[in-house]
Structure 1
Amino acid sequence: MQSVPYSGDDFYCDVAIPDPGSLDVVYEDEVVLAFHHTRPFWTNHIVIVPKRHIASFTTVTSADEPVVRRLLQVVQTIAAETERTTGAAAVLTNLGEYQDSKHLHVHVHSGPQR
């Protein structure tokens, strides 16, 4: 977990992907990393990111299709497991000013806000 607050604009490229050992990893392969959020907003809060930098959902191109396809497969699996174990799940991505980290990422969460 982060001991010093991160102040850059791409936590995933700068911190998470280079050092997954510092995270509570849920899933990792050569394309995607999924981990428990370092500052969770909900009781259950997992973030799924492509390891290759893609700025946002709205910047995805046809060249990104294999990566985004894999990302969505992992999101589906994690969302299904979250729903199975907690009874519900939500899937969320942020855009523009709502996107603190300028790297495509998807949140899977359930439970009350913290």
Structure 2
Amino acid sequence: MSEDFYCDEVLNGKTQVNKVLETDNVLAYHHTRPFYPVHIVAIPKRHISSLLTLDESDNELLLELLGVITQVAAQVTEQYGACRVLTNLGQYQDSKHLHWHIAYGEPLR
């Protein structure tokens, strides 16, 4: 996998995705290789390496991203009764681009 799948593949249009919600600065879509029966990823359209690299100039984008995550999580919870919202850091973060998972169900793998 590339170092930044989201910039290199998704945002460049090389990998087609099933969009759930999109704003000017944020994209939420169904994971291309889901780990859960319902698995949605939310990403900023601008490269940010991880939650740990955010700085004060990212506050507006972070609020927009959290707003999208909240809307998607509310949709999943309404439809299925629950969801998980998580992000990975360090060695757990396969793609070095800030992203959040909104998921429901038991792991498929």
Q: TM-score range by the shorter chain?
A: over 0.9
Q: Offset of 1:16 from its aligned partner?
A: 0.7
1:107 aligns with 2:101: yes
Identity among equivalent pairs (%): 46
Residue 34 of structure 1 is matched in structure 2 by: 28
Q: Offset of 1:29 from its aligned partner?
A: 1.7
> Residue by residue, what CA displacement relative to the aligned partner does 1:40-98 show, whole Å, maximum 9, x if unpaired?
00000000000000100011000111111100000001001100000101100000000
- Structure 1 runs (4+) greater than 4 angstroms displaced: none
Aligned length: 108
1:60 aligns with 2:54: yes
Residue 89 of structure 2 is matched in structure 1 by: 95
Q: Offset of 1:27 from its aligned partner?
A: 1.1
Unaligned stretches of 5+ residues in structure 2:
none
Residue 83 (structure 1) aligned to one of 69, 77, 80? 77
TM-score (structure 1 length as normaliser): 0.91
Task: Name the CA distance, whole Å, in 2 between partners of 1:41 and 1:21.
Answer: 18
Task: Name the CA distance, whole Å, in 1 between partners of 2:65 and 2:12.
Answer: 18
Residue 4 of structure 2 is matched in structure 1 by: 10
- Superposed CA RMSD in Å reads 1.2
**Bigger relative contact order, structure 1 or 2, given CA contacts below 8 A and separation 6+?**
2
